[in-house]
Structure 1
Amino acid sequence: MKLVDEANIQVRAGNGGNGCVGFRREKFIPLGGPDGGDGGDGGSVYLQADENLNTLVDFRHQTRFKAERGQDGMGRQMYGKGGQDLTVGVPVGTVIINVATDEIIGDLTRHGQRLLVAQGGQGGLGNMHFKSSTNRAPQRATSGTEGEERELKLELKLLADVGLLGFPNAGKSTLIRAVSAATPKVADYPFTTLYPNLGVVSVEPHRSFVIADIPGLIEGAADGAGLGAQFLRHLQRTRLLLHLVDMAPMEGGVEMSPADQVRAIERELIKHDPELMQKPRWLILNKSDLILEDEWEEVTQGILQELDWKDRWYRVSAIGRDGTWPIMKDVMAFFDAQREEQEAERLNEAPYQP
């Protein structure tokens, strides 16, 4: 599924209703006291995470959201009705930024989580509040206050388990097609993937994980080069990175060795967020079918030694699906082990109950 992962919207809460100037007038009480009611509070605007949404594309068409105004107060001490709150659904994983201050005001990471983004105005006071011993017939009431108005930037960080990392044309889209039902565009030129794609990998019934195909990175991506750093943020919430390397590279007509590809991407990860380098990362040597079999061992060992690679690595040909499935089974086993370890830690930290 393709997604739009950035959008700017305007939110405005409802103004409070005005207070009323009114006096009690009945058949036998012609000069009754003040009885003007208060105005109702304006409605507020909330953003709420919804697991059924997976893109911000709707906010490209509708960018303004306004809550209801509070009703004005009335005579006979009748309060105005409060304005209805407005709740806007966003995908789980949405970060909300106040454009005016560039401050992150919320991060919606679980279904149903709700965030107040614009507070409704308060209702004004009716004249019954201003009666005193010296002023028995006040002509004063207050107006409702204005509701908050903000411009917000929404950024979606994918909540994928696995992130595919690599240069353009390393074979990420081909791999995700091979192991899931996702169908990203695949072609023999750089930047085929212009938007992140998600795929669900089902290893066994009721055992699956989500894999994200991130658009290819180039040197300078953390500074906005190529498709920019906006895609690097999608890796921040993944639990495991699969670093694909093109074993027969050709970037812009200039050869770049597999080891140089890895080091270049690592520099971008450190620049964008050093914590990304702390995530588990497995090396996937792709397009192995383009290397002669009798040269494969020497080429592979040369790359691993040059990188001083200590973690897992795999040899695959994503286009022929050779070697792809064992990786997915190992990923599932890795997550299972993580879960068991976390459960054991949770039990150890639980207080003793006699």
Structure 2
Amino acid sequence: MFIDKAKIYVKGGHGGSGCVSFRREKYVPKGGPDGGDGGKGGDVILVADPNLSTLLDFKYNPRYEAERGEHGKGANKHGRNGKDKIVRVPVGTVIKNARTGEILGDLIEPGQSIVVARGGRGGRGNARFASPTNQAPREWEPGEPGEEKELELELKLIADVGLVGLPNAGKSTLLSKISAARPKIADYPFTTLSPNLGIVKYRDYGSFAVADIPGLIEGAHRGKGLGMEFLRHIERTRVLVLLIECQSQDLKADYLTLLNELEKYNPGLIKRPRIVAVTKIDICPELDISALKKLVKEPICTISSVTGEGLEPLKDLIWQELERVKHEIE
């Protein structure tokens, strides 16, 4: 099951309290104070793990607390610090404060971590309060409580290329042909109910990741259909491939619908490099795309995932766009 949103509760460990103690040894009837400090509470730390791909675990286990610090002891013995609580999340997880909506972190690299709830400081023992005028202090400090937070985790897939199209445009079929991914494929709209990720090998020297999301329909940016739920998974992509079915009654209208939904969801998406691919060309051998070519400024090609026609040129176009974006960043 693919789960890309979850709410969790995290709490840092409580700090240990300081100790009130006095040195008592043979022939030393009035030893000074020797109460040790309490240990610091453990932190709750989120770590990006490349072996995870969904937030499903957090649906069944939403509470995470770090260990509390030990109390101080006599003979100036400090309490042990509490152990940190390590919580592993998928790479690409955005962490937000559930109450304020503030973004606390974005874990986009394997091994990247963030402290989301700090443990409380340990209290001071009475040895810390000794002074020339107070040589037998009985003061001590309790440990401080750890931070408590409710967090909202949101997973955004990390892919180089995003496949975008209306329902039944052939996105999943294309992904299955150019990568080892095996998404569900059927001849009806909304076959894809969750995002799919595939790695495409390019010639003998390269590869890139492709994300396939459920089909968009007009009004997707407002939550209509499934688009709103999964459009965030293409926010990290560097190149978008717009797929338009050759049997569409109006190719230009489909193209404009896709652009409109992307722009209304996130204006930044419309500025990404794009490629237009007209799909299922094997059943439209007489198709004329001259009118569409006049409208679009980006590269356009025709493909058939069934026969393989146009797939290699499409991969060439994608690779060229990815290389161009890479050089622009550098």
Range class of TM-score, shorter chain? over 0.9
Instruction: Name 1:252's counterpart in structure 2.
Output: none
Q: Are positions 1:324 and 2:318 aligned together?
A: no
Give, in whole Å, the separation in 1 of the partners of 2:280 and 2:156.
29
Structure 1 position 73, deviation (Å): 0.2
1:352 corresponding residue in structure 2? none
User: 2:25 maps to what in 1?
Assistant: 26
**Residue 275 of structure 1: aligned partner:** 268
Shift of 1:338: 4.2
**Aligned partners of 2:203 and 2:263: how far apart in 1?**
35
What secondary structure, in the 3-state scheme, does the structure 2 residue paired with 1:241 have? strand
Q: Which residue of 2 aligns with 1:262?
A: 255
Deviation at 1:292, TM superposition (A): 4.8
Q: TM-score, normalised by structure 1?
A: 0.88
Q: Which of residues 281, 284, 289 in structure 1 aligns to 2:277?
A: 284
Shift of 1:199: 0.7
Moved more, 310-319 or 69-78: 310-319
Helix, strand or coil: the match of 2:306?
helix
Residues in 1 aligned to 2:323 and 2:217: alpha-carbon distance in whole angstroms:
33
d(CA) in 2 for partners of 1:334, 1:70: 53
More off after superposition, 202-211 vs 126-135: 126-135
Q: What is the CA deviation profile of residues 80-130 of structure 1, one whole-angstrom value per residue up to 9, with x for unaligned ones?
A: 010111222222221111101100011112222221111110001111122
Identity among equivalent pairs (%): 48
Contact 2:44 2:115 in 1 (8 A): yes
**How far 1:302 sits from its partner (Å)?**
2.7
Question: Are the equivalent residues in 2 in contact too, given 1:3–1:197 (CA < 8 A)?
Answer: no
Q: 1:337/1:276 Cα in 2 relative to 1: closer, same or farther (>3 Å)?
A: closer
Matches within 5 A, 1:148-159: 148-159=147-158
The alpha carbon displacement at 1:318 in A equals 2.1
Letter aligned with residue 259 of structure 1: K
How far did residue 238 of structure 1 move? 0.8
Looking at structure 2, the residues matched to 145 and 63 of structure 1 have their Cα atoms a distance apart, in angstroms, of 24
Provide, for residues 200-232 of structure 1, a one-character-per-residue CA deviation record: whole Å limited to 9, x for no partner.
111223411111111111222212221142311
Q: Shift of residue 321 of structure 1?
A: 2.7
Partners of 1:226 and 1:335 lie apart in 2 by: 30
- Paired with 2:204 and 2:67, the residues of 1 have a C-alpha distance of 47
Alignment of 1:298-317 (within 5 A): 300-305=289-294, 308-317=295-304
Equivalent runs, 1:2-13 vs 2, <5 Å: 3-13=2-12
Query: Is the CA contact 1:94–1:157 (under 8 Å) kept in the aligned structure 2?
Result: yes
Whether the 8 Å CA contact 2:215–2:227 is kept in 1: the answer is no
Q: Map of 1:339-350 to 2, 5 A cutoff?
A: 339=326, 341-342=327-328, 346=330
Amino acid at match of 1:288: I
- For residues 8 and 319 of structure 1, the distance between their equivalents in structure 2, rounded to whole angstroms, comes to 42
Counterpart position of 2:88:
89
How many angstroms does 1:58 deviate by?
Answer: 2.4
Give a deviation string over 1:19-49, Cα, whole Å, max 9, x none. Answer: 1111111111222222111000001011122
2:173 alignment counterpart? 174
Gaps of 5+ in 2: none
Distance 2:146 2:215 in 1: 43
Q: Spell out structure 1 runs of 4+ moving beyond 6 A.
A: none
Mapping for residues 142-221 of structure 1, pairs under 5 Å: 142-221=141-220
| Aligned equivalents of 2:3, 2:219: Cα separation in 1 | 22
